[in-house]
Amino acid sequence: MKVLKSIYIRHLFFYILLGIGGVFFISFFVKWMFDMAMVLLVLLLLVTVIDLFMLYTGKKGIEAERELPDRLSNGDNNIIHIRLKNNYPLPVTLEIIDEIPFQFQKRDFLMQVRLNGGEQVGIEYALRPTERGEYFFGKLNVYAKSPIRLVSKRYIFCENVVVASYPSFIQLRKYDMMAFSNHLSQYGLKRIRRIGHTMEFEQIKDYTQGDDLRTINWKATSKKNVLMVNQYQDEKSQPVYQVIDTGRSMQMPFLGLSLLDYAINSTLALSNIVLKKQDKAGMFTFSKKVGNYVAADRRAGQMHKLLETLYRIDTDFLESDFSRLYVDIKQSVTQRSLIMLYSNFETMDALRRQLSYLKGIARNHLLIVVFFDNTELNQLIDKPTKNVQEVYDKIIAEKFAFEKRMIVRELQKHGIQSILTQPENLTVDAINKYLELKARGMI
């Protein structure tokens, strides 16, 4: 018993000594760690002060400028340029956060670039507006960091800039020379063979190889004893009106743009081609009543007038009144004209309700009804089916697609021309149709 007690006392004494030694060791280690932490903290503060000094000594360490176009082109990619200059003598890393308009709903905009001392650079990004109207650009925030990268300095440029989004003038320039170039096929425009010629006399000229022998002027030939031919030109100054339905049927969206905006962009591009062809371009809109009327003309300021009118067009989400359209066309468009009507018919019943008014318009004018193929239905038709529900959906989609083709046949039966097009191909198809009718001497 005494032996066990002595062993227990020795073990207890050993643990006490071990605990006392551990306390001394830990206190020494903690003190050493504390001293080391204080040294590191001082070094961190020193480096931070150096970083602050490098970034904040100059007031204009960074220069930046946002270059915006005078107006945005609706439905197109618009390039925004940012010019940056580093006035620091050392390289910096820049983070650019541009406060772009809320319509784009882009809340994670961030661009990074590294500039050496005194270096200048230009960067760019693209914005695609899908609504006409005003777009408010906020601050251009530039955060500069030195190579130490502990502190960043914020620079603010270009506050509160407003840019209006107009109908697609980029598309207008794209198709500007379509009617006159030799590269129509790359844009989907067809080369139309001219059938015969118009009878609008231009001049008498010497015969050259390739001239139509039927145009030889025998009286002039006998007088000059040289073959002379009559030269004719395309008939000019033909009124071309584009009529845009602003009712609820034109609010269906495709690829971010409504059918109304596709029609507006097409109207602007085609009006430019019409004026280039020396015809008169005009337009108006209709829903419950006719509005935004621009009389057909080819004066110098006609394109500007059309652009400003198209910019202000908006929908009223009402059912379109074709009877009112018929009456207004009969009263205001007295000369026979080409009327291109942008609307949308989804079913045969919808067409039959308006067919009598369309026939009335076609009696006095060359009427072209433009309506739209539903691309989402086409995707559903092409998609493989996996169950009974998808089979039913596909059958219904095919029925609607078939009705679109039936609408085309019904209009042809009553002597009304039509364009059934996908929204993204509208401009090309409309220009094609105009050039075709022009080549065939129908206008």
The residue among 362 and 314 whose pLDDT is bigger is 362
Q: What percent of the chain has pLDDT over 90?
A: 46
Whether residue 268 sits in one domain with residue 253: yes
Counted residue by residue, the chain has a size of 443
Whether residue 258 sits in one domain with residue 127: no
CATH code for the domain of 383: 3.40.50.410
The residue among 229 and 114 whose pLDDT is bigger is 114
Whether residue 113 sits in one domain with residue 190: no
CA distance 324 to 138: 45
CA atoms within 13 A on the CB side of 433: 24
Residues 178, 273 contacting (CB under 8 angstroms): yes
Whether residue 180 sits in one domain with residue 120: no
Q: Which pLDDT does position 98 carry in this prediction?
A: 92
> How many CB atoms are closer than 10 A to CB 301?
8
Q: What percent of the chain has pLDDT over 70?
A: 86
Q: Residues with Cβ < 8 Å from 67, sequence gap 6 or more? A: 80, 81, 82, 83
* pLDDT, mean over the chain: 84
The tokens of 352 are what? 């039959």
Whether residue 348 sits in one domain with residue 336: yes
CA distance 326 to 318: 18
Whether residue 291 sits in one domain with residue 247: yes
CA distance 278 to 159: 44
Whether residue 213 sits in one domain with residue 138: no
CA-nearest of 375, 381, 414 to 395 is 381
Q: Which pLDDT does position 30 carry in this prediction?
A: 66
Q: Which pLDDT does position 179 carry in this prediction?
A: 54
Burial class (CB in 10 A: 0-12, 13-18, 19+), 287: buried
What residues pair up with 284 in beta bridges, in sequence order? 243
The mean pLDDT value for 176-188 works out to: 53
Identify whether 429 is part of a domain. yes
Q: Which pLDDT does position 201 carry in this prediction?
A: 57
The tokens of 275 are what? 């004026």
On the question of pLDDT at 238 being above 80, the answer is yes
Residues 292, 308 contacting (CB under 8 angstroms): no
The mean pLDDT value for 397-404 works out to: 87
Identify whether 100 is part of a domain. yes
Q: Which pLDDT does position 230 carry in this prediction?
A: 79
On the question of pLDDT at 263 being above 60, the answer is yes
Strands 280-286 and 239-245: parallel
Residues 239, 282 contacting (CB under 8 angstroms): yes
CATH code for the domain of 91: 2.60.40.10
Q: Which of 25-34, 62-71, 90-99, 272-281 has the lowest mean pLDDT?
A: 25-34
Helix-helix angle 375-382:388-413, to 10 degrees: 130
The structural domain count of the chain equals: 3
Domain region containing 229: 202-233
The tokens of 193 are what? 């063979």
Whether residue 371 sits in one domain with residue 290: yes
Residues 124, 82 contacting (CB under 8 angstroms): yes
Strands 366-372 and 417-421: parallel
What residues pair up with 112 in beta bridges, in sequence order? 95
Whether residue 282 sits in one domain with residue 343: yes
Whether residue 210 sits in one domain with residue 144: no
Q: Which pLDDT does position 367 carry in this prediction?
A: 95
Q: Which pLDDT does position 184 carry in this prediction?
A: 47
CA distance 261 to 248: 13
Identify whether 404 is part of a domain. yes
Q: Residues with Cβ < 8 Å from 321, sequence gap 6 or more? A: 286, 287, 288, 289
**CA distances, 225 to each of 146, 204, 213 (Å):** 88, 14, 16
Identify whether 46 is part of a domain. no
Identify whether 149 is part of a domain. yes
What is the tens place of the pLDDT at every residue in 139-176?
999 999 988 888 889 999 987 899 999 999 888 888 87
Residue showing tokens 């118009």: 198
Residues 268, 340 contacting (CB under 8 angstroms): no
**CA distances, 307 to each of 265, 283, 297 (Å):** 10, 11, 14
Whether residue 397 sits in one domain with residue 330: yes
pTM: 0.78
Whether residue 184 sits in one domain with residue 150: no
Identify whether 7 is part of a domain. no
On the question of pLDDT at 6 being above 80, the answer is no
CA-nearest of 110, 63, 107, 70 to 87 is 63
The mean pLDDT value for 52-59 works out to: 82
What is the tens place of the pLDDT at every residue in 20-46?
666 666 666 666 677 777 878 888 888
Identify whether 33 is part of a domain. no
What is the tens place of the pLDDT at every residue in 290-337?
989 999 998 889 999 999 999 999 877 788 999 999 999 999 998 999
Q: Which pLDDT does position 196 carry in this prediction?
A: 47
Q: Which pLDDT does position 60 carry in this prediction?
A: 85
Q: Which of 224-233, 341-350, 375-384 has the highest mean pLDDT?
A: 341-350
Residues 120, 84 contacting (CB under 8 angstroms): yes
The mean pLDDT value for 58-71 works out to: 89
Q: Which pLDDT does position 392 carry in this prediction?
A: 84
Identify whether 34 is part of a domain. no
On the question of pLDDT at 369 being above 50, the answer is yes
Q: What are phi and psi of 185, to 5 degrees?
A: -65, -30
The residue among 39 and 130 whose pLDDT is bigger is 130
Residues 76, 170 contacting (CB under 8 angstroms): yes
Q: Which pLDDT does position 182 carry in this prediction?
A: 46
On the question of pLDDT at 4 being above 50, the answer is no
The tokens of 10 are what? 């020795």
